Every structure is written in C-alpha cells, then in structure tokens.
Amino acid sequence: MKKIAFLGGGKVGQAMAAHVLENKSAEIAFIFDPFRKEDTLLGVPVIRELNETCFEGLDLVVECATADVVKAYAACALKHASFLPFSMTAFREDEVLEGAKKAAAEYGHTLYLPHGAILGLDGIFDGRTIIDEVSIETIKSPKSLGRDDKEYTVVFDGTAREAAGLYPRNVNVHAALSLAGIGFDRTHSRIISDPSVNTNEHVIRVKGEGIDWTIHVTAFAAGAVSGKYVPYSACGSLDRILGSGNVSFV
C-alpha cells in the first residue's frame, strides 16, 4: 500500500483524505495544516511545520493549500516522492516549474498535473503542437474573487501569467490550461466578477491547425473559491495515480 501525505486540510484536502480512508487505497502519513488547532483530522495526524525529513518514505505528496506551499516544497518533496499539486498558479514562475521538473527527473519521481475544475486538458495536451490560440474566460461571484462589486465587472484581461500572479487562488484553471497547452504567455485570460451568479464558470476556446474547440464548464460555488465539481475531480485524479478503481479513462 502506498504511503501519502496531504499539504492542506481544507475542503478539497479533506474530501480526498476521506475518500482515501473510505476506500483504503493508501496509508495517509500526515496532513500538513499550520492553521488547524486539532492534532488530528479524520483520525490522521496533523503537523504544523514541514521540513525535508517529513517527505522521507512517502510515495506521493498531494498539495491542496496555496501557491506559496508549492513554491516552498515542490522540489523538496519530489526528491522523495511524486507530487500532485492543485495550486498550479505557482508554476507561473519558470524557476518553480523548472526546479520541480529537474527534481522529478533527477530522483525518478512524477510531477502530476490534475485537471481540477475543468475538462478537456488531455485533448489540449495531446494537440498542443497544432494549437495556435488559447483563451479562457472565468466568471465568478465577487465573493469568490474576494471583491464586493455591485455590477458585472471585467476584473482582468491579459496573459495567463499575469492573471496567475494577481489572482493565485482563483485561476488555477488558467494555469493548468497554460501548462497543458501553449504556455502562460500565449494563453489569453479574462476574469469577470458578476454579482448575479452563484457559480464558477469557465469558457475555453482553442483554435489551431484543423481544430476549433469550445469547452464550457459551470459548477455551483455559492461564493467559494472552488466549485462543487472540484472535490470529485480531485478524488478521481488521486484514484488514477493510486491505481484504485476498476475503470480508468486515459
């Protein structure tokens, strides 16, 4: 049985941890959460400080905290285990991505990139050599974006690299799309604050040699950063990595 750890004990982290425990698909060594007062979460030990020795003996480290956690620990974790990050806006900084890729290659581990809140990243990744244009428009409530807009407002319009720097908790979808496709600088991002919605909505448009795709995803959010679909998506990604389940789409 594989031994794993979670960096982050919020909604998505708890959903994945509960899923693993219910299915007995791995042993959870610990959950890192510096803000949690309890010493356990779902019966799993909680630690509030991290150092490299914490990663020794693990097979997989799952990050579901913040981009700063990815920046601080991705390369270190990959020396000892494979790494599944959900805060992919951290990779807007080329040195963070290159450091993680270098550690994965040097130590024989895998850097996994989950699809998170959207669909179709596998197709975009497969077709990236013939893709010329990629854009993504995200529409969220002001509360989801940490704002108090009273009317429909275009919050940002520019590159995905800029968007990931300005809204690191809200545009992990933009980062994932950039990593799967044609990069942070060639991916066009647009963020809209709309007080009339209680959903997180993403519209992706991809054009290239003989292809023209539109991917439209909407999930209930009620002011949360992540929509209702994300925990299910996260658990599915984890299942495929752990090899649990009888059917897997590839």
| Positions marked active-site | 202
Nearest to 32 by CA among 15, 18, 51: 51
Cα 235 to Cα 103, 132, 196: the distances in Å are 25, 32, 30
155 CB-near residues (< 8 Å, 6+ apart): 145, 147, 149, 167, 191, 192, 193
Look up residue 78 and give its two tokens. Answer: 């990959």
CA pair distance 242, 111, nearest whole angstrom: 14
Q: Are 128 and 176 in contact (CB under 8 A)?
A: no
DSSP code per residue over 103-132: HHHHHT--B----TT-S-HHHHHHTGGGEE
